[in-house]
Amino acid sequence: MCGLTGVFQSQNSGLDSRSILQIMTDGLNHRGPDDAGVWCDQDAGIALGHRRLSILDLSPAGHQPMHSACGRYVIVFNGEIYNHLELRNQLSGAHGGWNGHSDTETLLAAIAAWGVNAALKACVGMFAFALWDRQRRVLTLARDRLGEKPLYYGIQNNTFLFGSELKALRAHPAFVGEIDRDALALYLRHNYIPAPYSIYKGIQKLLPGTYLQVDTALKMDVETYWSVNEVAESGSGDLFVGSEAEAKAELTRLLTQAIRGQMMADVPLGAFLSGGVDSSAIVALMQAQSSNPVKTFTIGFREEGYNEAEYAHAVAKHLGTEHTELYVSPEQAMAVIPRLPEIYDEPFADSSQIPTWLVSKLAREQVTISLSGDGGDELFGGYNRYFIGQALWRKLERLPLPVRARMAGLMTSVPPERWNAMLSAMGFMLPGKLRFGNPGDKLHKLAGVLRCQGPESLYFGLISLWDEPSNVVLGSTEPTTILTDRRQWPALPTTVDWMMALDTLTYMPDDILVKVDRAAMNLSLETRVPFLDHRLVEFAWRLPLSMKIRDGQGKHLLRQVLYDYVPKSLIERPKMGFGIPLDNWLRGALRDWAESLLNESRLNQDGFFAPAGIRKKWQEHLSGQRNWQYHLWGVLMFQAWLDEQRVLRK
């Protein structure tokens, strides 16, 4: 796991490429504290920089930028090729000998022997790399199939810049850094910026499963070597026909294979453990393959409803892991907030970024690698929206849209606080299952659901925050994304399959994987995600939906695998998520900080947001009328990021 960056120019700029590249590379030292290297060919206009976190081959033979044995290629690589020893065996006959045992050297040899496309298809791993072909004078950027490793690129002032994080690009004199208001509107909708967009005009994220080639005229050509859509469509058209027992055996085999490959390292290794299905399955199969207790890590909160540490402790005790847990105070958690803009590098507002950084910090004190259970929800139907959303739509579609719209209008005609007062007075007449805290807020949310015209709009509503973000971001027009462009949707048999595919294409790489990568790499901790082994992903898409979701519960088959190692009683409980009591913090300890970023004069001065809607939500949140924590957190994280950029420019 490392950081990479570089520059490609169609003509000699006269700048000192090596010294500039050194500054760009140094900005990524948190991603690779063990070694650094730069390589430049001033005549060709190419410069590559690398920071190394040594995982495999800790010797100088793993140093980058690395040259191929044939001398044709130079590469900077971030990630891991888990099957690189198998690839070496295939290459040994044609290869003239190995300098070390790094997977980077293996990848270079594969590219030299088979070409970029074939080498990428042969690799099992997570990665991003930049490859210079000295013979053709072509630069290739590539990213892994599911988007575990980041890679930004773009042309600024006739200079092609790229890097693992935006901070590396910002260090180049050619970088413009104009904020893209259209991308900002997308950010307010999702609390992350969907690929290929970034917060800056002219800078993009390379899409997962693709590689980009750039010639000396800076002409760019993108190729896809692996596609979620193709895998999902192919799998749903060729469903697994064996028994559930046979499917369980195959899932166990593939997950064991993935974990075995990802436990390969020359440094200490452990795992995050929440006590939920996904992380418990990963740890159980790790422990089954290890002669020593696996190191596991979890954090807990004292606040009721936000603590999973006790469940993780029970699972760890049953499996016999070497478990470390830390109960975090609100003060410790909130102390992370000032660091978030620097850690995430562009606006990012999944509030579980805070506990993710804290558990990464805890793990880094003992290990250099930690496996995680991310990806299980998207592959095996774990999110509530998959089974609740479909059931809800089946009930809603029985009522004509005009009737539902009228009902929604009546609901929203009464302010939430009045609903709260009326229903509180009637509380003794309501059955227990209909007694909610802040019922007015929930009725207004239900009104939005009633207006949906189909399952697609229902899903889009469930994954959206600000409904009309272009009305909040001044001068913006919300651009199309995979979520809004039907031409990019896979053709799948059910709405649930479709939702799972879109989450795999968007939410997972642009939110979940970003959250984990930036938090962990800020602390020089490598994270690995066994569920995203593409062989496992391809099998998951062949499973009938009934083996994923059954009786209103997701991850059916994965649970059966887990129950061979962990008693059902330790696992079965409502899905909690990795959250923090943000709504209360914003009304309490964070109130002054938030007010300083959300006050009307500040918003007007910055000129990005129309203050009225933001101020209204802020006042409603403070009064307890509504819980707008996620809407407000997105604005707050952008404002804090903006402050960070101003400091950096000084």
Q: Are 193 and 186 in contact (CB under 8 A)?
A: yes
pLDDT at site 138: 97
Q: How far is CA 545 from the centre of its chain?
A: 24
Residues 6+ positions from 20 with CB-CB distance below 8 Å: 7, 47, 171, 172, 173
Name the amino acid, one letter, at 622.
Answer: L
Residue 310 tokens read as: 């006790």
pLDDT at site 319: 97
pLDDT at site 300: 87
Exposure string over 79-88, b if 16+ CB within 10 A, otherwise e: bbbbbbeebb
How much of the chain, in percent, has pLDDT values that exceed 90? Answer: 73
The pLDDT-based confidence of 552 (bands split at 50, 70, 90) is confident
124 φ, ψ (degrees, to nearest 5): -110, 115
Q: Say which range, 66-75, 84-93, 310-319, 477-486, has the weakest mean pLDDT.
A: 84-93
CA torsion, ordered 574, 576, 581, 582, to nearest 10 deg: -130
> Which positions are catalytic?
2
Compute how many other C-beta atoms are within 10 angstroms of the C-beta atom of residue 391: 11
User: What's the number of CA atoms in the CB half-sphere (13 Å) around residue 154?
Assistant: 25
Residue 62 tokens read as: 């793993």
Residue reference for tokens 């696996």: 294
Whether the pLDDT of residue 90 is over 50: the answer is: yes
Give me the residues paired with residue 221 across strands: 213
Q: Are 371 and 539 in contact (CB under 8 A)?
A: no
Name the amino acid, one letter, at 399.
Answer: L
How much of the chain, in percent, has pLDDT values that exceed 70? Answer: 93
DSSP label at residue 400 = -
Q: Are 203 and 153 in contact (CB under 8 A)?
A: yes
Q: pLDDT tens digit string along 356-396?
A: 999 999 999 999 999 999 999 999 999 988 887 777 777 77
Burial class (CB in 10 A: 0-12, 13-18, 19+), 531: buried
d(CA 236, CA 501): 11
Exposure string over 114-124, b if 16+ CB within 10 A, otherwise e: bebeebbebbb
Continuous H helices in 365-482: 376-380, 384-396, 401-413, 416-425, 439-450, 455-462
Burial class (CB in 10 A: 0-12, 13-18, 19+), 576: middle
Beta strands 138-143 and 210-214, pairing class: antiparallel
Whether the pLDDT of residue 434 is over 50: the answer is: no
Closest CA relative to residue 475, chosen from 611, 640, 609:
609
The pLDDT-based confidence of 100 (bands split at 50, 70, 90) is confident
Q: For the chain, how big is the Rg over CA atoms in Å?
A: 25
d(CA 610, CA 608): 7
Structural domains of the chain, ranges and CATH numbers in brackets: 2-225 (3.60.20.10), 230-382+501-570 (3.40.50.620), 384-493 (no CATH), 582-649 (no CATH)
pLDDT at site 580: 80
Q: pLDDT tens digit string along 7-65?
A: 999 766 666 778 899 999 999 999 988 888 999 998 899 999 999 887 766 667 788 99
pLDDT at site 394: 76
The pLDDT-based confidence of 518 (bands split at 50, 70, 90) is very high
Q: Say which range, 169-173, 270-274, 383-387, has the weakest mean pLDDT.
A: 383-387
Q: Say which range, 132-141, 172-181, 304-313, 459-468, has the weakest mean pLDDT.
A: 304-313
**CA distances (Å), origin 550, targets 386, 559, 571:** 11, 11, 16
Range 489-512 average pLDDT = 96
Q: Say which range, 90-99, 297-306, 360-369, 522-531, has the weakest mean pLDDT.
A: 90-99
Name the amino acid, one letter, at 497.
Answer: D
Mean pLDDT of the chain: 91
Q: pLDDT tens digit string along 112-164?
A: 999 999 999 999 999 999 999 999 999 999 999 999 999 999 999 999 999 99
Whether the pLDDT of residue 433 is over 50: the answer is: no
Q: pLDDT tens digit string along 561-614?
A: 999 999 999 998 766 566 688 988 999 999 999 999 999 999 999 999 999 999
The pLDDT-based confidence of 624 (bands split at 50, 70, 90) is confident
Range 546-555 average pLDDT = 93
Q: pLDDT tens digit string along 317-349?
A: 999 999 999 998 888 989 999 999 999 999 999
Helix (H) or strand (E) holding 167: helix 166-170
Residue reference for tokens 């849209």: 401
DSSP label at residue 226 = -
Residue reference for tokens 């469509």: 233
Question: What's the pTM?
Answer: 0.92
pLDDT at site 647: 81
Whether the pLDDT of residue 232 is over 60: the answer is: yes
DSSP label at residue 509 = I
d(CA 324, CA 272): 10
Closest CA relative to residue 533, chosen from 117, 164, 81, 89:
81
